Amino acid sequence: MRGAILYAPGDVRVEERDRPSLVEPTDAILRLSAACVCGSDLWPYRGVETYDGPIPMGHEYVGIVEEIGADVANVKVGDFVVGSFFASDNTCEICRAGYQSSCVHRVLMGSLGSQAEFLRVPLADGTLVATPGMPEPDLIPSLLAASDVLGTGWFGAVAAEAGPGKTVAVVGDGAVGLLAVLAAKQLGAEQIIAMSRHEPRQRLAREFGATDIVTERGDAGVARIKELTGGRGAHSVVEAVGTQESMMQAIRSTRPGGHVGYVGVAHDVQLPGEELFFSHVHLHGGPAPVRQYLPELIDLIWSRTINPGKVFDLELPLEQAADGYKAMDERSAIKVLLRP
């Protein structure tokens, strides 16, 4: 089968890879309908994260069940399914508490590579959620978004305790940040401030529910958030970047007693303990337990209540994955969908 491989920073190639087959009786094999490039794929692509040798890429996926292991009971061959970037048993104590991305048996899907024609999904019963039927083609981008960026933005908004009566600010205008805006809106937030200096992203943020746009960054961005919130700071701030600057911007934009939900994978971030102490904020985040939200998100998409697929502003055949990485890296595309 064809699949994307990262050889070195900036060097993604689509090549022949072995078609995966069942390894464990709890596995399923999917024929992928769509895959995509993630903001977090850019960390190794840019050489910020290191790795050993050529690695398969991709951890977001939707597709049709092609084959199942002997122990798989919750999905069947022919189902259209959505999964997420950690396979999880969905039965352990940590999963039951809603933290499937820290499942005691979790498997990182990125190591299996979903930018490909087929994908092996471990722990299929716990990981995959079937849609109510075969989706209309125009729903596929939204279902694919649920696999990671929507689920991650959703977790960010939940971790920030977005809800009725709340002012929510979102740091980061990538797909995750934009979908955190959508999540905040769905969760009933009163005021939603998107921090973005890019016109097409601002437009999408407004479409997803942003009431205010802040173009300033760093201290100036914090000052602007304070101005918009009676000098107090936002109740809820979603951090969707993962840098020192963005984390501090998020913490400083939050009022005492407020909540920061951080979902940008932290890179070279050190949080100053004393400032954090006196900030009085709640801090929660990490790899989103997308599995927890999949049934609800699929419902919202299936009923056409939300349209998170709008974050895909570039669609390419899998063979052109390299162009997709380049467009994301240069920020000329918000999110790239790949068709195997």
Using rule CB under 8 A, residue 38 touches a copy of itself: no
Q: Do 325 and 12 touch, CB atoms closer than 8 A? A: yes
Task: Quote the least distance from Cβ 195 to a copy of itself, whole Å.
Answer: 19
Figure out which of the listed residues 74, 91, 244, 307 binds a copy of itself, where binding follows CB under 8 A: 244
- Stretch in the footprint of a copy of itself (CB under 8 A) among 62-70, 117-125, 184-192, 276-284: 276-284
Q: Is 165 among the residues that bind a copy of itself (CB under 8 A)? A: no
Stretch that binds a copy of itself, among 112-120, 178-186, 258-266, 329-337 (CB under 8 A): 258-266
Q: Does 164 bind a copy of itself (CB under 8 A)?
A: no
Report the candidate in 230, 225, 231, 229 with the shortest Cα–Cα distance to residue 213.
225
* CB 335, CB 175: distance < 8 Å: yes
282 interacts with a copy of itself by CB under 8 A: yes
Distance CA 52, CA 61 (A): 24
Of the residues 271, 299, 331, 332, which one makes contact with a copy of itself according to CB under 8 A: 271
Burial track 273-303 (b if 16+ CB lie within 10 A, e otherwise): eeeeeebebebbbebbbbbbbbeebbebbbe
Mention every residue, 6+ apart, whose C-beta is less than 8 A from residue 49: 43, 267
Distance CA 293, CA 150 (A): 10
**Least Å from the CB of residue 161 to a copy of itself:** 11
| Among residues 67, 105, 286, 326, the one that binds a copy of itself under rule CB under 8 A | 286
- Give CA 319 to chain center in angstroms: 23
Stretch that binds a copy of itself, among 91-99, 111-119, 176-184, 330-338 (CB under 8 A): 91-99
Name which position in 1, 55, 94, 223 contacts a copy of itself (CB under 8 A): 94
CA gap 24, 35 in Å, rounded: 24
The answer to whether 195 and 252 are in contact (CB under 8 A) is no
For residues 109 and 104, what is the distance between their CA atoms, to the nearest angstrom?
Answer: 15
| Residues 95-114 close enough to bind a copy of itself by CB under 8 A | 97-99, 101-102, 104
Kindly state the smallest distance separating residue 108's Cβ from a copy of itself, in Å. 11
Q: Does 226 bind a copy of itself (CB under 8 A)?
A: no
Q: Judged by CB, which is closer to a copy of itself: 91, or 102?
A: 102
Contact call for residue 47 and a copy of itself (CB under 8 A): no
Q: Binding string, 51-90, against a copy of itself, x = CB under 8 A?
A: ----------------------------------------
**Cα angle value 197/200/205 (rounded, 5°):** 80
Q: In this complex, which beta carbon is closest to a copy of itself, that of residue 69 or of residue 286? A: 286
Q: Is 259 helix (H, G, I), strand (E, B) or coil?
A: strand
Work out which of 284, 322, 323, 329 binds a copy of itself, going by CB under 8 A: 284
* Residue 19 binds to a copy of itself (criterion: CB under 8 A): no
Tell me the two tokens of residue 219.
């201290």
If residue 24 lies in a helix (H) or strand (E), which one and from where to where?
none
Q: What is the DSSP letter of 18?
A: P
C-beta of 81 vs 251, nearer to a copy of itself: 251
Residue 259, Cα to own-chain centre: how many angstroms? 20
Question: Is residue 120 close enough to count as binding a copy of itself by CB under 8 A?
Answer: no
Distance CA 171, CA 157 (A): 11
- Entry field: residues in the chain: 340
State the DSSP code for 1: -
Minimum distance from residue 94 beta carbon to a copy of itself (Å): 5
For a copy of itself, the binding residues (CB under 8 A) are 93-94, 97-99, 101-102, 104, 230-232, 242, 244, 247, 255-257, 262, 265-274, 276-287
